[in-house]
Amino acid sequence: MLKKCITSDISLLEQLPPQVELRLLVDRFAHYQQPRKKIFDLVRKGHLELVRKGYYLNLKSKNFNQTGLENLANALYFPSYISAEWALQHYGLLTDRVYTITSVTPRKSLHLKTSLGEFEFRHLHKHRYPFGYEIHPDSGFMIARPEKALLDYLKLRDHAMTYDSTQEMEEHLIEHLRINLTSLLQQTTPANLAELLPHYHRNANEARIIRFLLTKKESNSG
The series of mean pLDDT values per 10 residues for the chain, 222 residues long, is 61 95 96 96 97 95 93 94 97 92 97 95 93 94 97 84 84 90 95 94 90 90 63
What integer pLDDT is reported at residue 46 of this predicted model? 96
Pick from 31, 65, 99: which residue ends a domain?
65
Pick from 19, 39, 65: which residue ends a domain?
65
Amino acid, res. 196: L
What integer pLDDT is reported at residue 203 of this predicted model? 87
What integer pLDDT is reported at residue 2 of this predicted model? 45
Apex 19 CA angle, 7 and 149, nearest 5: 155
| Total domains in the fold of the chain | 2
Same structural domain, 178 and 107: yes
Same structural domain, 73 and 25: no
Domain of residue 8, residue span = 2-65
What integer pLDDT is reported at residue 164 of this predicted model? 80
